[in-house]
Amino acid sequence: MTPDEALALFQRTGVAQEGHFLLASGMHSGRYLQCAQLLQYPDLAALACGVLAARFRDAAVEVVVGAALGGIIVAHEVGRALGTRAIFAERVEGAMTLRRGFAIRPGERVLVVEDVLTTGGSAREVVRLAQGAGGAVMGVAALVDRSGGRADVGGVPVEALLTLQVETYPPDACPLCRQGMPLTKPGTKVLQDRARGRSDNG
């Protein structure tokens, strides 16, 4: 799958969205990539994640770890394609943690997966979690890298089906805020209508 083919697939399934978004990193952006729109179709999820998995076919991966929530389905499908276990890390009291009896054995070869890389923060935390358990991290795989290849994932190789340069802004220097565009946290209602200066949730 070429980058152009990946982009066409993401556009066809409604992954790319335009507006004024609050990202998990706390930054603002005029573009959001909602990979759940693709992952809701099991055949397309298997296709995209199978292509991603193939890039690590020679790495002898033994366990795939996704960052909850977006990386859970990706981990499952990449793990299926590689014939490995698939587990996920979730945030507990601010820190990425393995729960539900999941564990990484010392020396186990680990692939960390995400749906979208923005700053790389969540993936980097999972990389450190795996390394802290004694795992050998083979790399990070993502459906989309929206950082233009600049995401900091802790010094391991990164593979993505599509790499984009999507502008992000600190909240105090966001041109979309200055224009009064409603701010939306993906998956929720509009957080704040800056044009009217009132909350839409209250």
Residue pLDDT, tens place only, 107-126: 999 999 999 998 888 999 99
Q: Which domain holds residue 19?
A: 3-192
Residue 140 lies in a domain: yes
Closest to 109 (Cα-Cα) out of 134, 83, 81, 74: 134
- For position 164, which CATH number holds? 3.40.50.2020
Residue 68 lies in a domain: yes
Sign of CA dihedral 21, 27, 31, 37: negative
Stated as kind and residue range, the H or E segment containing 54 is: helix 42-54
Residue 81 lies in a domain: yes
**Structural domain count, the chain:** 1
Stated as kind and residue range, the H or E segment containing 34 is: none
> Is 201's pLDDT higher than 70?
no
Q: What's the Cα-to-Cα distance from 40 to each of 86, 106, 128, 133, 148, rounded to whole Å? A: 18, 34, 29, 32, 26
> Which tens digits make up the pLDDT trace of 50-83?
999 999 999 999 999 999 989 999 999 999 999 9
Average pLDDT over the chain reads 90
Residue 198 lies in a domain: no
Give the CB-side neighbour count of residue 87, counting CA atoms within 13 A: 19
Q: What's the Cα-to-Cα distance from 173 to each of 1, 9, 120, 133, 145, rounded to whole Å? A: 37, 33, 21, 39, 23
Residue 201 lies in a domain: no
What's the pTM? 0.83
Residue 202 lies in a domain: no
Residue 197 lies in a domain: no
Contact between 76 and 86 (Cβ < 8 Å): yes
Residue 90 lies in a domain: yes
